[in-house]
Structure 1
Amino acid sequence: MFGFATVVLLVVVVLWHYAIKRRAEQTPVTRTSGWIIWGGLALPTVSITVLLIVGVPIGHRMMPLPDEHALHIQVTGNQWYWQVAYPEHDLQMTDELHIPVNTPVHLHLTSADVIHSFWVPRLGVKLDMLPGRTNLLRLEASAAGVYLGQCAEYCGFGHAHMQFTVTAHEQLDFADWLNEHTSLEQKPQEPDLHGLGLHETSSHESDQPESVQQGEAIDE
């Protein structure tokens, strides 16, 4: 795609230059029109060049290129929480990712219900998560710290609360964290949806005796 766009650009520039030269032979080019012509050629060329210089390395860093040292993490978006799994270490978590610094991390992103979007602003990564499809995203943190993530695609009532954290550890600290958590029998934590008002008990139900709420019979 990039090569095709380059060829098209070169053809357009050559034809434009030919048209300008041919017209100049017929009508003298004034100083004002010369500024307009060459300004219209130089400004887009410089702008496109700068964008390519800045954008190509960023896009390259986001591509999940084959890397035997990469850490693989599976992230599944749900309404309205995140399931995180480390398949190589048989570890599962909820609403939090832990990664080592200066290490490529390949995220396998998918959705269990509707369209979500994995977004970590400070790490410069964002990718949609689609039901029935797995998208790959390359993530790498250059400094240790906690980075806040958010779903960037409206997905229903609890969208605003669908947040997660990415904790970047130093290499040795991440190894210690991984050993500590894989040595225990891990189960994904139940998402806390009480703050969204999804599991609130109705006023009528709360007025009933505890035995009635639990479905037990009451002797008359």
Structure 2
Amino acid sequence: MNHVPWAALALSLLLLPGCGTLRDAFLDTASPLAPPRGATLGQTSREDIVRQFGEPDEIDARRLDARALEVAYYFADDLDDDHEPRYKLLVCEFAKGVLTGYAFHDTGIPAKLGFEESGRAKLSKGQSTRHAVETALGVPDGKAFLPTTITLPALDIRLGAAPFPLAAIPAGSKEAWQYYTEGFDETRHSASRQTLTVFFDERGIFLGDALLHELVAKAP
């Protein structure tokens, strides 16, 4: 896949200064997006997702390892508590009508500070379970069976069709979770985003993780 998804291009435009009118006209301001309730990879159906959120705003047909996949995009836009623009994105991947991955991002959620330090220290390779990971790091922003075609929004905008996750994948990995945060670093005087990817084997045992730190902009 060499093209940049239309949905990713649209989101990149929405992040540009002066695009408020475009954003307000393009996005559905009334849609209360959130991570899918009770979603289970390999079990939740496309119909389950549609019952929660309605028909997708965008559908992208893809192929991976000779498999036909469908990627559904949901968008929403409103103002946060400080009356600043806030956007949400939910991306769901399906194979034969069954959920194989999803990623959610909401700029209005406070940054999960410290997940890359204190939380990761509690995990043991080859021992920690999915439940232990969720206890240490919280509910993930995205989950996917591997291999997959979806990414979290920051990577989708920057790299288009790059596979999820963008990291060295430990041998035996069958599933990945991602945690996403962005904020302003007072020490470095810069805005940055971080994506933490956690890998599991087919039994749901933790195999390792990878942290991607991206500098968004530096204050003058």
Q: Which TM class, normalised by the smaller chain length?
A: under 0.3
More helix by share: 1
* TM-score w.r.t. length of structure 1: 0.25
* TM-score w.r.t. length of structure 2: 0.25
* Structure whose CA Rg is larger: 1
